[in-house]
Structure 1
Amino acid sequence: MKLGRIARFEFAYQLRRPAYWLFFAVLLFVAWSIIQANYVPDARDGWLLLNAPLVIASTTVVAGMLWLFLAASIAGEAASRDISSGLHPLSYSAPVSRFQYLTGRFLAAYALNAGLLLAVPAGMLLGMHWPDVEPEIIGPWRPVAFLLAYLSIALPNAFLATAVQFALVALSGRAVLAYFASLLLFLATMGLSVFMMTVLKQPDLARLFDPIGMIAIVSGLSDIWTTHEVNTRLVGLQPLWLGNRLLWLIVGVTVLGFTFRRFRLAHPAERRRRAKRAKLRAPEPDDAQAPSARLPMISKVAAASRFGARAQWRQLCAATALSLRMLAKGWTVFAPLLAGGLLVCIAIAANMEFMGVPLLPRTEHVLDYLTAALANPGNRLWMVIPLLTVFYAGELVWGERDARMGEITGAMPVREWVFFVARFLALAVLLLAWMVVIGLATVIAQAVLGYRDFEIGLLAKALLGLQWPEYLLFALLALAVQAIVNQKQIGMLLVLVLYGLIAFAPMLGIEHKLLVFGASPAWSYSDIRGFGNSLAPWLAFKAYWFSWALLLAVLAHLLWVRGRESGLRARWQLARTRLTRATVVTAMLAGAAVLGLGAYILYNTHVLNTWQSQADRLARAAAYERQYARYAKLAQPRLAVSTMRVELHPQRRVADIRGSYLLSNAGTQDIETVHVAISTRDGVDTRRVEFDRPATRVRDDAVLGHRIYRLARPLRPGESMQLRYEVVFAPRGFANTGADASIVGNGSWVNAQDVLPTIGYQPGRELREAGDRRTQGLPARPLVPDLDDAAARTGAADETGMQFEAIVGTDGDQVAVAPGNLLGSWREHGRRYFHYASKAPIGTDVQFFSARYAVHRQRCQGVTVEVFHHPAHDGIVAATARSACASLALYSRLFGAYPYDSLHIVENPERDIGAHSEPGQVDYGDGFALLHPATDEGGLDLVTAVVAHEVAHQWWGGQRFRPARVEGIGLLIESMATYSATQVVEDSLGAEQLHAYLSMMREQYQVPRSLAMPPLLRASEQFLNYRKGPLALYALSQYIGRDNVNRALRRLLDAHPPGRTPRATTRDLYRELEAVTPQRYRGVLHDLFAMNAYWEFSATQANASKRADGRWQITLEVKARKFIVDEQGAEQPQPLDEWVEIGVYPGAAKRQENRQVIVGSPLYLAKHHITQARESITIVVPGEPGHAGIDPRSLLVEMRTRDNFADVAR
């Protein structure tokens, strides 16, 4: 059969190519690397088994993403080899049908790709059984997991990709378009699916339309499966995934059908002319009647033979223009540019909100969605530009030779460097066009969102000055590799592999940026800090890599192929003749720059700063624990008073700190030795540590930062002594990760714990992750001690806090902020000084800020509330101060008096929207100032809620209440703060805002996640602490009354003042809540806090009739179910004995996107006792009903609430 012979010939031909087996080796290495770099550490940490089915499936997907580009030449070669080799006149005229020709070639390509993808399971097996992998992290051998991953992921992906690649190449005749087909699929995965997930808020739709499986499997299943499910459940038979496979198989078949219909066994030019032939054909004139015409005589033209600098410049311009025209023809340039601009608009629009609240699309914020470093890119979407560069570089270098014009252009009187530089300039112009399109799309998106303060200068600096060079570096690399390798497909493969190594170097254990082409410390920008000192290291590394790129360009120039001489030996011989004086000087200058800049970078990263690999850091932490953990329980003096003078010099990047500690023995034993932890941070020089009594330094470990002093006279119980210190913090140069930004020209932020001496052994320096402890030979232990761990409930030495006083000096145009009341400020020698002192004890986590702040002051409840903010960020200041005042008033009444005379709310220079609380002080990232609820009429005022949450930490987790660091601590700190904030929102903003706030928190339940969780009493996860915990407390308040819950919380606080042991746990909270809960609601309390319970409610029907007295009688049919999910994911149905709200409301049910059902004032709202799976409830209401429902306010934990209501029928 002809079809079979065609397929066998194609299969055998490509199987003999060395490139095929090179692809196989690369893919095997990639699969091995994914297992070793990603999943071995996770398995050691106990999150999964190394050979879990989901690990196998996810690795298949991720490796398949690289396979898209590695193997594009297989389909491209199969579809275009006849045209590229010039044999198509023969093959197209052979007695073979179009179906046989195309089907044979396609089946061969598909079989080759299917065989190539066998490298993935082979690489996985190699990685799982590598010598350093411990047997205990590998589960039972399950061949079916590999088989399912191959059959349901690899083979369908191979069919789709091969079909699209084959189609584009067959219809165009250009093999390189197979790479472009891979880019289309990459964009479909990273663009279309993410758009559906983030913009449309349709995760199931995103998984269905994900062509490769990144959303459907890698992020989809891993988010919703428990550890037990990850280790045991097979991947590939889930209904949604089967639907995904069917959809994309249909797409692949459709693409092939279209290709078979449009393809013609004719010369490519003939195909393009066929559609136009009838229109262009004109009657031919009769030769006999044709008028004679005289042809002009050809005259000899004297050609100039001068080829100086001017002529070479003109040649360069002409060659650049020609290269640009070659790139710009067709749709391979303009279509991606258009798609890129559209993606920018979508990305900005989709991300200009935080928890449902609009954000100001300021340029500093949108830059995150426009830029991505070449090495280790944070924004994976913009990996598409380097991938396109691989494609364009191949086209530029091989364009003339593919068109069989290479010998002609090679014979032209043009220098080799002109050919190379012209192509680089053309690629640079194309990349510049990308930057311009991205910039224009950004401005358009900002304008559409109503923003008018365009910062064109900043946008130009970021895109043209910082992002464009990233791409230019890679463009030079791609062009140089193509020129040096002189094999188009191998060159593209090599560039792709190099890009993979560059982009994912840290995952492969390559950490130093001098070893990764194009790598550099990241630059950063914020409105307060500007670029700060982040540009200097970035420029140094980029200059270093551009010097290397110049050396590569010189080599490419020397080895540039002209004419028929393409062998390596002939090219080396030609290279000697091209080694002109200018070439040698250029190479020497580039080499000198490499050596000089490399030495400068090494001096900064290894001399001025300490270079440590991840392995070094782990070993150092393990050594600290091994040597000094035996002193963890040793009695140490308590830090009672801290006094210091801080001289901040922002312009010089220096902080000079001198101070003293008053150390007291609050225990019952004599203290003979004092352990002092010294900062090992780069730039910290601890110049003096001395006591006011004789002491001998018996241990000084400068490497691990630990000193031991033996006192000449022991410190008796009740006695005190002074420790005086002098520390200079002066960050120098830059490290491998960049320059230390703690002290900068504007926006300095210094954490005293990072630089000052601290007393005693420091558990925070220990390794916590199970895998890290295992690799370092340390004993295993849980991340968080057990809830009933008695030892963990004992108090720490600093639990009662310390008195604090500081004088902080800074530049004359700045404001310095420290904890405590501002006792005075003055100017001296052109500098400003601020004197702060705390009225009540604070924690030891002291932070200093200095910037050109504007200050908003407001007096409320006897407390001075001060908001220190960037002058341009004044949009949220009033709301921040109002919320702080409302919070202080409410919490002081409910939970006890606020212990300080002032509350500082400080904007820090970091680019985040979060906030952080310490006694007497709250700081928030400058991204928090982006919140712009005014643009969302009737939307959530998140500023008020967040500030109320942080102020609540002055009671919950602050100096007022410090629970035991055991399981459930998050419920006692974060859940309490959030629940307290709900009361501020309700009291100051009203019920509608409260409903919006609660709805925002409940939205997290709509995000796919595993139901397997520990009970709240043992909660440690953020979702449980910030969402489920506060919602459970609010639900309980609606059952037993808000006052009863607050009374229980006040009792908890009063029973556990600072310094009292044992410290509080969630069992103490449960006991207090149980004491105020009526017997009928004890079951709700137990289910919400002691069990991981879920409910399912639905209103199936509601009927109403008007009574004679004018009232309405409603019969509501409901369904109910309750079940408990253990930590392994097993569901256990529970009998129904529930008190559940039933509500009746006027009008039709209303819905708001991504939020719970929005309801007005109820006609009826009361709790009913539900004991059956199906119940009929009859209610009489005073007005005409519109809709009725069960659990209308979603008080109980339910994953889906959209069917809780039913419209009332009459």
Structure 2
Amino acid sequence: MIIDLLKFELKYHFGQISFKVAALLFFILGYFCVAQGGFGSDDVHKNSPYVITNIIALLSLFSIFSGTLFSANVVLRDSMYKMEAVVFTTSIKKLPYFVIRFLGLIISVFSLLVLVALGIYVGTFFLDADRLGSFHIIYFLQPLSVFALPNVLFSAGILFCTAVLTKNVRIIYVVGVLIYILYMLASIFGNSPLLATSTMKAGSPDILPLLLDPFALASFFGETRTWTSLERNQQLFPFDGTFLFNRLLWLGFTALVVLITYRLFNFRLQQQQQAKIKAAKAEEVELVPYRAFAVFSNGFRYHLDTFFAQFKLEMIFLFKNIPIMVMLLLWVFLFGVELKDQLFSGVYGIHSYPATGIIIEEIRSMKFGLVLIIFYAAETISREKSVNIHSLIYSTPVQNSVLWMAKTLSLFALVFILVTLNIGIGIVLQLTHGYFHIELPMYLSLYYYSAFPLLLFVVLIVFIQNLSTNKYLGMLLSMIVIFLVSYAERFGLAHYLFRFATVPDLLHSYFNGFGYYANAFNWYMLYWSAFVIVIAVLTIGMWQRLVEIKVKTRFRSIGLILKQHKWTTVLALLTWISCAAFIYHQTNTIGKYKNKQEQLNWSLAYEQKYKKLASLPQPVIKAVKMSVDLYPSEGKYSIKGTYNLKNETTLPITKIWIYVDPDINSFSVNVAGSKKSEKDERFSQQFMTLKTPLQPNKEVVMRFSIEVIKSGFTPFNSENSIVKNGTYIEIEKFVPHLGYCYNFECEDKHERKKAGLPEVADKPNLNKIYELINLETTISTAIDQQVITVGTLQTSWLANNRQYFKYKTAMPINFMFALSSAQYTLKKERYKGIDLSIYYQPGEEYNLKSMFKAVRDALDYGNAHFAKYPLKQLTIAEIPQYKGAATAYPGVVFSEENINFLGNYSQKGTIDQSYAIAAHETAHQWWANILAPADGAGYAMLTESLAKYTENVLIEKTFGKMYLRKYLAYDNNLYFLNRNNNEEELPLAKTLDQPYVHYQKGGLTMYAVKELIGEQKFNTILSQLIIDHEHPKPKATAADLVNAILKEALPKHKKFINDCFNGVVTYDLGIKLINCKKLTNGKFKIDLEIDAERLSNGDKKLPDLEVDLACFDQLEMDWEPDTKPIYDQKLQINQHKTKLSIIVAHKPKTVVIDSYGYVLDADKSDHLAVVD
């Protein structure tokens, strides 16, 4: 009987249209995730255990939504269809009934994840063989067993219990949302990579957040973040440690809840309260004589009255709906926690001032609100039917448009409530953190920028819900549509014309507000508003009333409906088409839009056409003279200029090959003495053939002009942004260049192989000769703005209601020049004959003192240890916060707004990033400007890694070594967070395009070298490197520095140093306390055991390194930046296990291996032992 009942239950589940749609969706999700998803480097197989586990674990989150729908739709069917009286009087007992319903839900939800696995399997048949490893069924069974099944048991189990105990659909929704919020909170505290900023945070989470994540995703991503490609291809996720405890904890919790539910479940009809109900005494009722009322059902007043009556009912339903109110409270809690985390727990522990501009950037996107809208829309559309009064309501002459408008406006009210709550969260957070500069106009703008897209979704969701045969199918279809819109780019629909109510990134800055993206937002909102007007007309025309009409029949009536509202429809369609034409013109014609595939084809075709000409000899640029006209309010700029070109080869040059960045809208080039020109518009190339070949050591003048038009319809390029206030352009990247461009090549090895191209080799060190230029620039801009660029300001003047600035370099510089233009305030000081200036936004003076100090310290250190700073000025100019932190040019640093100027570093223990970044960028005056390395492999090591070294040394000297230890810990963790998220990691000496290598690993490596060979010796090496390779001598390569270090290093250090620079090697260190006892002389003897592994390409080998071993008389929590150890010695380790004893003079509290934190180790939690 049990088996038969289970079969019946499953047949009922599987027969639901909502299940069939969900089954198809989950299968497609599995297929597309394996086909389109990115899971680390290209060396990770698409059918590896890591990829399969990743997909199944992530999609198990959807068990919340499928469990919610199935619980409400299937588990409650007896109550819903008034069948309890029949079912409860059959011979079935309580236990079988409970178990069958429970298993039916679990199996149906779990089967969806099995279909995900099947979709993954089918998807692998459509992938290239070189992207796949060998097939093993265990790769599918293990994640289904340890992730999918426990997650389904938890989420569906809790929802089942809620359904059984409450028999209330709305409470089921609340619990579904609560489960999701529980997961989100665990993600926030567990630093889940699913959150937008997680990869920018460092540090391993505590065990508690890992245990509190009911889906165990934080454990999975935390453990696998350091896995190599080899481990990801071969290793199943280990079912032990914290992960095992997590699974047991939540399975135990689920079992307990289910058992309690079974005990509380009454297998009988709901009874009235047991208290006796006293009969009410009959009261005399005054009879009211009947009189007829005149009813006018066609006038405007009638429709207005019915609208207000219906709208009042809908609003009462909203505000007196306890489950909705609970969900709103949960919304406040989740967004409050998340906003606080975003503001006060950023990369390197950055705390931001809670400025309104920063807050609205964080709370503007409200996609999660769509979940609440879907739930509430389903309830409000079907409300009359749910309480069996639809026959009464729909038999009245009330118009469909009245019902549609009342229900839709109530959903609009929910949207505005969500926005209001977000604004309230922001203001409360500001006030509770002592920030009282509340900028209400910015907050009020969210009623447009946040709410309007949601309002469009409301209309679409109402249409879907009205079209669906039942509300649960409508909810599922709405979720599918939102999912497809959110991930449309993955499915090949990258163009925003096809992505409903979605706009390009709406970036906010205090310089520029939402800038020209506000204009694009307006156009897209008008475009989609016209579309939803047609949707609204169709919804009203196909509104469900008394008679259930088949969907097919209702679709056949579309023509009639549109004809009945032809003027509204025609006007909406004309608006829609006109907006589409305008947006297409702005995006595709002016903006040169390319989707991902088109960009790939472009790169492949460029290389196939021009790589064979890469060795064509070209002249070099010796002088640049430019006139730049900025039009900030119009979003455009133009440049006219001349190059002095010199033939520094030994052969005559007959053809000059010019190209510009594809971001340029138009360009023209003319070379004196050229006889013909060949232009390739597709690749922005031009060949100029000279009448008379350019002889060696001779020069020729090239004239050029370019024009750039930017708008909110094109992808934002933070390096080429012309905005109303806060323009920033890295000009050297957008003026004409000569020869072949290696940066245009495709680097995806699989796509290259399909196109018949060889694998990308290390980019060669193309030119070891300095090609310096003299630069003269005249720039015009808006009358109220100041321009900052490379060189010394010669003069400025007003003309034609515009501001003009003329800059000229005092000495030849590398081909590096950028500019910014904004309404600045200036703060200056003079230091040892150098003019120091900071141009900044008024009101953002918080960190100027710290930045000035960093610049002074860096100048002192660089002058003392590297080379004399060659210029008479050093300027920092603030730029909008769109991307990055800062960029250095000769004599100028362009510094990002939020981190440097709006970061709050006043709290004790906070890393002062304004100091660190200013020191780092000032260091680039030596490491990129005075010493400009040869282009190619290792270039970034001699620029970014050495700047990080200088930054770290200055932090140590300014704040203390223990302060730096905390800073290096962030770098260590960021390195391991990012190293397996892209292509195969290269050694430091070959790095070029892997920031986590040349920033994080590079900084740690350079500091380690300093600690091993000594600061003075290392600085002498660096100083000599500049002497040997500054202009006019040949440029330095990474090998030059590595060889110089190895030459000075002791033999015992050479292997470690070589591993750091020329290998991809990390370590696994640990320390254990064996014993500690007090000696007769009052000192303490500590017996220790050191564990050490050298990790390379997944192999564990004998270590060979020297590390610091320190002992402190304080616990780690009590360490101050200037805390000194009571024991500090270096220890040579060349065994897997090393036992030793140390003697300390004072009572020890902690013993630490790698005490200053510069050894690369994925897990440093075992580097410290507490002495009891």
Fold similarity call, TM over 0.5: yes
Out of 415, 421, 437, the position equivalent to 2:399 is 415
Quickly say closer, same or farther: Cα 1:930–1:708, change in 2 above 3 A. Answer: same
Q: Cα distance 1:1084–1:155, how it changes in 2: closer, same or farther (>3 A)?
A: closer
Q: Please tell me whether the aligned partners of residues 48 and 234 of structure 2 are also in contact (alpha carbons under 8 angstroms).
A: yes
Task: Report the count of equivalent residues.
Answer: 1155
- In the alignment, is the contact (CA less than 8 A) between 1:360 and 1:930 conserved in 2? no
Q: Does structure 1 residue 1117 correspond to structure 2 residue 1100?
A: no
**2:323 partner SS:** coil
Rounded Cα–Cα distance in structure 2 between residues aligned with 1:1006 and 1:231: 18
What is the CA–CA distance in structure 2 between the aligned matches of 1:1190 and 1:605, rounded to whole Å?
A: 56
1:954–1:411 distance in 2 versus 1, CA, 3 Å: same
Task: Report the equivalent of 1:202.
Answer: 205
Contact 2:972 2:1160 in 1 (8 A): no
Aligned pair partner of 2:951 in 981, 994, 1012: 981
Q: Judge conservation of contact 1:53–1:145 (CA < 8 Å) in 2.
A: yes
Question: Which amino acid is the alignment partner of residue 211 of structure 2?
Answer: L
Give the secondary structure class of the aligned counterpart of 2:76.
Answer: helix
Aligned residue number for residue 1042 of structure 2: 1070
1:123 counterpart = 2:119: yes
Q: Is 1:326 aligned with 2:317? A: yes
Displacement of 1:878: 2.7
Q: Offset of 1:1208 from its aligned partner? A: 6.6
1:513-524 matched pairs, under 5 angstroms: 513-524=496-507
Paired residue for 1:1051, among 1000, 1024, 1030? 1024
Q: Relative to 1, partners in 2 of residues 1:296 and 1:578: Cα closer, same or farther, differing over 3 Å?
A: farther
C-alpha distance in structure 1 between counterparts of 2:1164 and 2:47, whole Å: 37
**C-alpha distance in structure 2 between counterparts of 1:469 and 1:291, whole Å:** 55
SS across alignment from 1:651: helix
CA spacing shift, 1:501–1:991, aligned 2, 3 Å: closer
Question: What's the counterpart of residue 690 of structure 1?
Answer: 670
Q: Which of 790, 793, 797 matches 2:765? A: 793
CA distance in structure 2 between the partners assigned to 1:1149 and 1:1158 by the alignment: 13
Indicate how the Cα distance of structure 1 residues 771 and 903 shifts in structure 2: closer, same or farther if over 3 A, else same.
farther
Partner of 2:656: 674
Compute the displacement of 1:838 (Å).
1.1
What CA distance in whole angstroms lies between the structure 2 residues aligned with 1:195 and 1:247?
Answer: 18
1:349 is aligned to 2:319? no
The one of 692, 710, 723 aligned to 1:713: 692
Distance in 2, Cα, partners of 1:988 & 1:1189: 23
| d(CA) in 1 for partners of 2:1047, 2:418 | 66
- Aligned counterparts of 1:741 and 1:1089: Cα–Cα separation in 2: 34
Pick which of 69-78 and 894-903 moved more.
Answer: 69-78
Structure 1 residue 181, shift from structure 2 partner: 4.3
Letter in 2 for 1:515: F
Asked if structure 1 preserves the Cα contact closer than 8 Å seen for 2:959 and 2:1122, the reply is no
Q: TM-score scaled by structure 2?
A: 0.92
Among 530, 534, 538, the alignment partner of 1:555 is: 538
Tell me the residue number matched to 1:825.
796
1:873-908 Cα distance to aligned partner (Å, 9 max, x none): 222223222211221222122111223332221212
Q: 5+ residue gaps in structure 1?
A: 373-381, 786-791
Deviation at 1:619, TM superposition (A): 1.2
Q: Which residue is 2:855 aligned to? A: 884
Q: What is the deviation of 1:1035? A: 3.3
3-state secondary structure, aligned to 2:700 = strand
Residues 253 and 892 (structure 1), Cα distance of their counterparts in 2 relative to 1, 3 Å cut: same
Q: Which residue of 1 aligns with 2:431?
A: 447
Which letter maps to 1:563? L
RMSD: 3.1
Structure 2: unaligned runs, 5 residues or longer: 192-197
Kept after mapping to 2: 8 A contact 1:1098/1:1190: no
List per-residue Cα deviations over 1:784-824 (Å, max 9, x = no partner). Answer: 44xxxxxx234167x43211111112222110112111122
In the alignment, the residues of structure 1 paired with residue 840 and residue 431 of structure 2 have an alpha-carbon distance, to the nearest angstrom, of: 26
Match among 109, 127, 145 for residue 105 of structure 2: 109
Q: Does residue 539 of the first structure (1) align with residue 530 of the second (2)?
A: no
Query: For the residues of structure 2 that align with 1:624 and 1:367, how far apart are their CA atoms?
Result: 42
Using the alignment, how far apart are the partners of 1:592 and 1:1157 within structure 2? 68
Q: Is the 8 A contact 1:805 1:836 kept in 2?
A: yes
The question of whether the paired residues in 2 share the 8 Å contact of 1:207 and 1:244 is answered with yes
- Matched letter for residue 291 of structure 2: K
Task: Identify which of 1114, 1122, 1128 aligns with 1:1148.
Answer: 1114
- Confirm or deny: 8 A CA contact 2:63 2:152 kept in the other structure: no
Aligned to 1:259, the other structure's residue is in SS state helix
In structure 1, distance between residues paired with 2:219 and 2:957: 43
Task: Report the CA distance shift for 1:935/1:1104 in structure 2 as closer, same or farther (over 3 A).
Answer: same
1:246 and 1:938 mapped to 2: Cα distance?
37
Match of 2:631 among 649, 652, 655: 649
What is the CA–CA distance in structure 1 between the aligned matches of 2:321 and 2:711, rounded to whole Å?
52
**Bigger mean CA offset, 297-306 vs 399-408:** 297-306
Match status 1:7 vs 2:9: no
Q: 1:649 to 1:1009 in 2, by over 3 A?
A: closer
Q: Give the whole-Å Cα distance in 2 for the aligned partners of 1:391 and 1:779.
A: 53
The alignment status of 1:774 with 2:753, answered yes or no, reads yes
* Gap change, CA 1:768 and 1:1059, over 3 Å in 2: farther
Q: Contact 2:361–2:507 at 8 Å: present in 1 too?
A: no
Kindly state the Cα deviation for residue 568 of structure 1 after the two structures are TM-superposed.
4.9
Please point out which of 449, 454, 466 is paired with 1:483. Answer: 466
The 8 Å contact of residues 630 and 782 in structure 2, kept in 1 or not, is answered as yes
Q: 1:1043 to 1:486 in 2, by over 3 A?
A: same
Q: 1:293 & 1:506 partners in 2: Cα distance?
A: 71
How far residue 930 of structure 1 moved from its aligned partner, in angstroms, is: 4.5
Residue in 1 aligned with 2:363? 370
Distance 1:1157 1:696, change over 3 A: same
**Counterparts of 1:246 and 1:1185, CA distance in 2:** 38
Note the alpha carbon deviations across 1:854-879, whole angstroms, 9 max, x for none.
12222224332222211222222232
AA of the residue aligned to 1:259: T
| CA distance in structure 1 between the partners assigned to 2:1158 and 2:417 by the alignment | 53
Contact kept in structure 1, 2:1066 and 2:1096, CA below 8 Å? no
Displacement after TM superposition at 1:942 (Å): 2.2
Out of 591-600 and 53-62, give the one that drifted further: 591-600
Secondary structure at the residue paired with 1:935? coil
Q: Which amino acid aligns with 1:703?
A: R
- Is the CA contact 2:900–2:913 (under 8 Å) kept in the aligned structure 1? no
Preserved CA contact (<8 Å) 2:353 2:904: no
1:138-193 CA-partner distances (Å, limit 9, x unpaired): 11111111122222222222222321222222223245655554433332322333
1:307-706 to 2 correspondences below 5 Å: 307-353=298-344, 354=346, 355-372=348-365, 382-461=366-445, 463-568=446-551, 583-681=565-663, 684-687=665-668, 689-692=669-672, 694-706=673-685
Per the TM alignment, residue 827 of structure 1 is displaced from its structure 2 partner at its CA by: 2.1
Residue 69 of structure 1 and its aligned partner are, at CA, apart by 2.5
Please report the TM-score for the alignment, with normalisation by the length of structure 1.
0.89
State the alpha-carbon separation in 2 of the partners of residues 292 and 1188 from structure 1.
86
Write out aligned runs for 1:265-280 (5 A): 265-268=267-270, 270=271, 273-274=272-273, 277-278=274-275
Instruction: Tell me the residue number matched to 1:379.
Output: none
Q: Residue 727 of structure 1 aligns to a residue in which SS?
A: strand
- Is contact 2:311–2:406 with CA below 8 Å preserved after alignment? yes
Q: Find 1:893's aligned residue among 856, 860, 864.
A: 864
Alpha-carbon offset, residue 944 of structure 1: 1.5
Query: Which residue is 2:233 aligned to?
Result: 231
How much identity, in percent, do the aligned residues show? 22
In structure 2, the residue corresponding to 1:1121 is in which secondary structure?
strand
**Deviation of the 1:329 alpha carbon:** 4.3
1:258 maps to what in 2? 260
3-state SS, counterpart of residue 1102 of structure 2: strand
Shift of the 330–813 alpha-carbon distance from structure 1 to 2, 3 Å rule, reads closer
Q: 1:543 corresponds to which letter in structure 2?
A: L
The residue identity in structure 1 corresponding to 2:746 is: L
Q: Which residue of 2 aligns with 1:750?
A: 729
**1:172 corresponds to:** 166
Query: Given the alignment, which residue of 1131, 1141, 1159 partners 1:1177?
Result: 1141
